[in-house]
Structure 1
Amino acid sequence: MMALLAGLLTLRFLPALPGPWLLAGLGLLALGALCSRLSRPLGLYALGLCWACSSAQWALDDRLSEERDGRTFWLEGRVVGLPEHQQGVVRFILEDVQSRHTGLPGRLRLAWYGGPGVRAGERWRLAARLKRPHGMVNPQSFDYQAWLLARRIGATGTIKAGRLLDEPPSVVGFRDRLRTRLLQVDAAGRAGALAALVVGDGSGLSMADWRVLQDTGTVHLMVISGQHVSLLAGWLYASVALLARWGLWPGRWPWWHGACALALAGALGYGWLAGFEVPVRRACAMVAAVLLWRLAFRHLGVWLPLALAMLLVLLVEPLASLQAGFWLSFASVALLVLAFAGRAGRWRWWQVLWRAQWIMALGLLPMSLALGLPISFSGPLANMLAVPWVGLVVPLALLGSLLLALPWLGEAMLWLAGWALALLMEVLAFLASWQDAWLAPALSFWALCCVALGCLLPVLPNGVPGRILGIPLLLPLFFAGPEPPEAAQAEIWMFDVGQGLAVLVRTRQHALLYDAGARHADFDLGERVVFPSLRRLGVRRLDTLLLSHADNDHAGGAAAIARSMPVAEVIAGEPRRMAAALRAGACESGRRWRWDGVDFSLWQWERASSGNQASCVLLVEAAGERILLTGDIDSATERAWLASSMAGPLDWLLLPHHGSRSSSSMALLATTSPSAVLVSRGLHNAFGHPHPSVLARVRQVGAHVHDSAEQGAVRIRLGRFEPAWVARSQRRFWR
């Protein structure tokens, strides 16, 4: 079992999938090794790896081809899962896709701006502009491509027009109708949270709610996860055990058989209500394995159900290992088994709960660091309160949902559950106000191993010697991190923020952020991408936040950055258009300063008549190597800059205005003669950036192009005169 598991899990760490001939050879090796008892573990490992790679290759083959990327197609399909309705946008997954154009993926994730009320199970004919799976790649950001592949989504897209073909079957549409009914209930303002707990739809929770849940480490409690399924199964099992203890269970039926059957039926029913998403499938497999172990295999040890559940999950869906939730869920169960198995004596319930929380917080710390997840310092206390709280709310909410046919009773129970959730969110918001979730800087492999050992030792049983040594082993967590640049050198990061701009300039002891990305409704790139990347790189404070001008794609994320970390000074090309909370000062043309042997110079056109023309331009020079950050200046502003004392040859040039046709004139490129140019833009952006004529001029001067849409984040070590490093050079088989 362990050899087969190791083969299935190896998929997660492969930079590329083996070719068909190598895969066939691996399969033959597995079959041959299985014939001998001594080589059987090797055969099982190869068999698991072969199955995982084959499954992943099928998913990759079902993605939209490059020649169809960005094109619009008429297609038909059925809506699966619960569509998300947020701020006038409907997002849903379409399966069983059919079209006269062959080769389209069978599973799509689509967005319909201003679209109608799409429901689960409906069949639609749609005109959709499809795009290949693509996501931003930064020092720290959500891996959207891995998320899509794990769900076997072959393309994303936006809908241009559509027509309903078939209504949903009554059984398929039940979840959607129940969600609609729950959202209409007066639940103390927490109808969205009830829908999250009952049917697994988290779209009713605001960004403020998600922020509170993240800061308190309680995200896993508010949308159906393994914990909810396990709680319900535990409640049902305990109810039968109590009936048997009170003499109310039929004596001719073994009560534990009935308890296991009822618990499994409840878990499967709750899983169906939640749409059998991947976390729920994991939980159902775990519950089934534990119940099977309880019935007949307890003599084989407590680790058997954990290994069996993991094996079942990976055999059914090998791509589950791409999700952070897979590793966290099984690791948390393993930690609890390690902490409580074989303990002598009885503990009070509150001792068990508190010990479980601090063990989970400490034991999962290394995995959270490796996965780049935020760490909540208030998590143990918050979970100690929230776990039993939600454990009581879930059966109340489910019972209220079942009794909605009796409005006065069902709605009263749901109101009580909603009131309890509202009170819980108030308590969690109070705890979150103490300390935001902490993002640790990137640690080396050896530092991470040291921290992992330091976290594991205190979790071991009391009789194990050397547990106190875990405390000094945690020190790298606070003192280790990425090495800053050497004196007279600068590290430049152009982050991948889509159609926007955010550039970090870091010297030995100082940091400057040039622009902060965009903010789109509740999605703030400053909060979601730029700030996590800064923390991952070890930046704890900004000496200067320089906003070239006030357009959203450059300054939209600035407020989130200023809230999240100390900022000593804010400079803006258009200070009057900035939020008052930023207290931005004006860009002083001609201002110069030096940090750690690196020279900085500002320039702004005094005759600017628009926001783009008023962009504050920054020149950075380290050991004779120069880079110019240009904001959104146009060709007229470029001519004015060429007449200034700052003009001259460059090594690196950020193409003005994302490479628009109105910028990057031949005069600018010929005079500066850069070795390489940087383009920060979104893939398939509506403006056509960078314009083909601009790229032609760049090729004419012989400059190399670094494009964030194609290469992800770009790192330059200014002062070393060496090529740039791009984030997509880190190979992953899914991108």
Structure 2
Amino acid sequence: MKQPFLILSVGWAIGIGLAVQWGGSGRVWGLAGGGVLVVGGIYGYWRMRGGGWTLFLVGCCFGAAQFCTVEASNHTILPVSGNSSRAMVEGTVVSPTDVDGDQVRLTIRTRRVTLREQQIQGEERILLQLRLNRSMEKKEAQTLKRGTLLAVPVQLIQPDSARNPGGFNYRAYLHRRYIHRLGEGDWQDVNILSRPFSVYGKIDSFRLFLEKRLDRLYPENVAGLMKGMLLGNRKAVPAEWEEDFASLGLVHLLAISGLHVGVFAGGLYIGATLLGLTREKAAFFSIVTLPFYAVLTGAETPVIRATVMAVLGVISIACGKWKDNLSFLGLAALFILWWNPYQLLEAGFQLSFSVTFALLMATEWVSQRIPTCWPRVNQLIAVIMIAQAASFPLLITHFHEFSLFSWGGNLLVVPVVTAIGIPIGYLSLIVGGIHEGLGSGLALFVTELWSGIRSVLSFLAMWKAPRLFWPPPPWWWLIAYAGTLCYCLWAWMGGKIRRTRHGWMAGFLFIAVIGIPLIEGSKDELQITFLDVGQGDAAVIETPEGNVILVDGGGVLPWEKEPWQRKREAYDVGKRVLIPYLKYRGIQSIDWLIMTHGDADHIGGLKAVVNQFSVKHVIRNHASLQGSMETELMDCFRQQNIPVLIPETGKEWELEPGIKWQFLYPSEKSGEENHGNDSSLVFLMTVYGKKVLMTGDVEQAGEQEIMRQWNLPQIDLLKVAHHGSRTSSGEKWLQSIHPRMAVISVGRNNRFGHPSPEVLNRFKKRGVDIWRTDQDGAITVTISPHTWKVESVVKSER
């Protein structure tokens, strides 16, 4: 039986997947695994075969048993009493301290929690989010290391689940890290009880020491980049650099991955032998150093996988044995899944092991078919092709996008970074500790190299067409893709007769399978999604024929902060909510972008959207520009040659058969006279006979003018104006339109008191079905010729 560890690891992973899907009892799964082991052992003893299947099935059962056992014990010891409660927590810091602007984030393992005068003993991992009030506090927080014992009063809250379709499920993410509560408080209330000796604390100190050395050697932006590439501090990488690399499929270069571990391990072994160490001593030095390097750089899954494989590889070289990389890969997977079975659900684990397996299986075959006379070039092209093909289904599953530029980008950039950027970066760090001048010379070379790479990548990142967005594919498509890929490899790597008979068919089948997720079946329904953007408005309308209308883009009010308070990347509704949703839906472009008016909570997220998606038309009101945010947005439209239209009020347009829309307000005259909320665009959509009224932030004066100009029909769906403020939705207005259903876009616990109890009472008196984004999350209304369906992401009590 070849590669038993690989077979066992595959079975173990499948078993965890079965347990995730179907659950069950860990004891039952374990007994089943024991039964398979006994029966398979007896059968193998008598028949001398079947060992592979026995090992696979044993792995399935024990993997499922492990996950069910861990899941059953993964719960909070704290009593559940609503979403928030005040408590004093005391515990040990178990994560590196993340200081970003005026906020500190760290994880503690509690030993005591005092909740409503009740002391709860026991371990509970809590993620603390502490506010900084002074710049001096920031310096204090940066010195906090793992192992420190502290006590702090906090507000314990439950993490959010996803509040928008395709959104990030923070609660599930923390659950996989055994965290069930967040603790919000102030740094000034932290009481450091003791700073005992801790190995992890010393590693944190050494990492901070190296980061300070990089700050001395490199300019600020490049220093942040090198902290990410060499030390695993991804959050130090400038946000704009990360966006460019991510858009081109090169983000893996900015964080420690198997590529970096391979370069480090190779350099370590070669350097040790050049210093005169024997092969055995060089191997021993590498084996001891690599685990320390893994912990120093954050111990993420790709790092652990590469470190385990590198250590086993070095051992095999030192012993003069043949390297069985597939078995090493299986051992690495078993180690990580045994340590934490939730890792199987992480994109990093899936990408790291899938790509590595594909490279080990196919690189030699593919490189032999590439028609150049340079073996190294052939191998490089084969590696890029295989890595892209293997990662594609996982990228569109988890991130819903793929860049056509990533093929060429990886082909051109990865060799330069691998052969020059990373090695000389490490060398500058080492030499800089001996002689800062020599280290600065090497750093200058790396800085110029990255400056050139960044210039090229920034230019390529401006192109929107090569970026394709996919909706999440179904499970059967993932199986079909994997089968088609294997078929292509079998057809193209075979002899001339096989390639002649199967080559064209395999290529055609591969292209067809890739295009399936982009093909939408025929439908006769319109979908309106009111996104939860906090205290703001944003709605996406998708028509049966594929037209996409984006109404407003949410946003937050600008708040001037001191330099020390500014975060690495300011919160942007467009990047955090709108863009992820549009990608999740597989939307490639926006046909109509409607700006109801220029308030920040309606247009703040639009710039990010316009920079990533092609926008065909913009519709805005007649009012003059209201501020710097709207002026900047209009400049962005002009730079991208996007036509900006002012609608003719009263004119009814047929968007598609059965779907019409009509702008009711403001007219040219009222648009000049009114500003602010009463300049909001108001439009009526007729969808298969159903009436949908979108009102922006129009207030009662605007409502009265609309009633004077138009004889409004009964409204089936009303987007409530101004987040349910008492200055809108007047008695006469509701009496005139008599809505059946109302959607209020409003932020949770907002400081304005929206929605007004007075307005809610007006709706309730009329029996209106009220939906709210603060309580229900995103709200999706689907309208077809014969049906009407409303769904929400958060299942609140109604």
* TM interval, short-chain normalised: 0.7 to 0.9
1:499 aligned counterpart, secondary structure: coil
Query: Can you list the C-alpha shifts for 1:665-703, whole angstroms capped at 9, x where unaligned?
Result: 565556544443323344454445445565555554444
- What is residue 173 of structure 2 aligned with on the other side? 147
Contact 1:233–1:264 under 8 Å retained in 2:
no
- What is residue 232 of structure 2 aligned with on the other side? 200
User: Which of residues 420, 426, 430 in structure 1 aligns to 2:455?
Assistant: 426
Deviation at 1:78, TM superposition (A): 4.5
Contact 1:63–1:132 under 8 Å retained in 2:
no
CA 1:280–1:65 in structure 2 vs 1: closer, same or farther (change >3 Å)?
A: farther
Q: Which of 198-207 and 665-674 deviates more?
A: 665-674
Deviation at 1:512, TM superposition (A): 1.4
- What is residue 505 of structure 2 aligned with on the other side? 469
Q: Which runs of 5+ in 2 are unaligned?
A: 44-53, 559-568, 639-643
Contact 2:650–2:662 under 8 Å retained in 1:
yes
Q: TM-score normalised to the size of structure 1?
A: 0.85
Deviation at 1:64, TM superposition (A): 7.2
1:678 aligned counterpart, secondary structure: strand
- What is residue 516 of structure 1 aligned with on the other side? 553
Deviation at 1:613, TM superposition (A): 3.0
Higher relative contact order (CA 8 A, sep 6+): 1
Deviation at 1:514, TM superposition (A): 0.7
- What is residue 394 of structure 1 aligned with on the other side? 422
CA 1:509–1:645 in structure 2 vs 1: closer, same or farther (change >3 Å)?
A: same
Q: Does 1:128 align with 2:177?
A: no
Which whole-Å CA distance do the structure 2 matches of 1:80 and 1:310 have between them? Answer: 24
User: Which of residues 778, 786, 789 in structure 2 aligns to 1:713?
Assistant: 778
- What is residue 790 of structure 2 aligned with on the other side? 724
Matches within 5 A, 1:264-279: 264-279=287-302
User: Which of residues 377, 398, 401 in structure 2 aligns to 1:350?
Assistant: 377
User: Which of residues 587, 593, 604 in structure 2 aligns to 1:539?
Assistant: 587
Percent identity, please.
24
1:396 aligned counterpart, secondary structure: helix
- What is residue 628 of structure 1 aligned with on the other side? 693
- What is residue 641 of structure 2 aligned with on the other side? none
Deviation at 1:305, TM superposition (A): 1.4
Which whole-Å CA distance do the structure 1 matches of 2:767 and 2:161 have between them? Answer: 29
- What is residue 370 of structure 1 aligned with on the other side? 397
User: Which of residues 650, 662, 668 in structure 2 aligns to 1:601?
Assistant: 662
Q: Which of 8-17 and 648-657 deviates more?
A: 8-17
Q: Which of 490-499 and 532-541 deviates more?
A: 532-541
CA 1:611–1:7 in structure 2 vs 1: closer, same or farther (change >3 Å)?
A: farther
Contact 1:617–1:629 under 8 Å retained in 2:
yes
Which whole-Å CA distance do the structure 2 matches of 1:286 and 1:683 have between them? Answer: 48
Q: Which of 478-487 and 119-128 deviates more?
A: 478-487
Contact 2:531–2:779 under 8 Å retained in 1:
yes
Matches within 5 A, 1:59-78: 59=74, 61-62=75-76, 67-78=81-92
Contact 1:271–1:280 under 8 Å retained in 2:
yes
Deviation at 1:334, TM superposition (A): 0.9
Aligned residue type for 1:325: G
- What is residue 563 of structure 2 aligned with on the other side? none
- What is residue 732 of structure 1 aligned with on the other side? none
- What is residue 318 of structure 1 aligned with on the other side? 341
Contact 2:159–2:181 under 8 Å retained in 1:
yes
Contact 1:439–1:532 under 8 Å retained in 2:
no
- What is residue 716 of structure 2 aligned with on the other side? 651
Deviation at 1:448, TM superposition (A): 5.2
Deviation at 1:108, TM superposition (A): 0.4
Contact 1:232–1:266 under 8 Å retained in 2:
no
User: Which of residues 540, 554, 558 in structure 1 aligns to 2:602?
Assistant: 554
Greater helix proportion: 2
Q: Which of 544-553 and 516-525 deviates more?
A: 516-525
- What is residue 39 of structure 2 aligned with on the other side? 36
Q: Does 1:492 align with 2:528?
A: yes
Which whole-Å CA distance do the structure 1 matches of 2:756 and 2:380 have between them? Answer: 60
2:97 aligned counterpart, secondary structure: strand
User: Which of residues 83, 97, 107 in structure 2 aligns to 1:83?
Assistant: 97
Aligned CA-pair RMSD: 3.7
Matches within 5 A, 1:676-691: 676-690=741-755
2:713 aligned counterpart, secondary structure: coil
Q: Which of 441-450 and 489-498 deviates more?
A: 441-450
2:534 aligned counterpart, secondary structure: coil
Which whole-Å CA distance do the structure 1 matches of 2:587 and 2:366 have between them? Answer: 43
User: Which of residues 204, 217, 222 in structure 2 aligns to 1:190?
Assistant: 222
Which whole-Å CA distance do the structure 2 matches of 1:691 and 1:9 have between them? Answer: 51
Q: Does 1:438 align with 2:468?
A: yes
Which whole-Å CA distance do the structure 2 matches of 1:224 and 1:699 have between them? Answer: 56
Q: Does 1:230 align with 2:278?
A: no
CA 1:266–1:422 in structure 2 vs 1: closer, same or farther (change >3 Å)?
A: farther
Which whole-Å CA distance do the structure 2 matches of 1:242 and 1:177 have between them? Answer: 27
Q: Which runs of 5+ in 1 are unaligned?
A: 730-735
CA 1:723–1:462 in structure 2 vs 1: closer, same or farther (change >3 Å)?
A: same
Aligned residue type for 1:371: H
Which whole-Å CA distance do the structure 2 matches of 1:296 and 1:249 have between them? Answer: 16
Contact 2:221–2:238 under 8 Å retained in 1:
no
Deviation at 1:326, TM superposition (A): 0.9
Contact 1:516–1:555 under 8 Å retained in 2:
yes
Q: Does 1:175 align with 2:235?
A: no
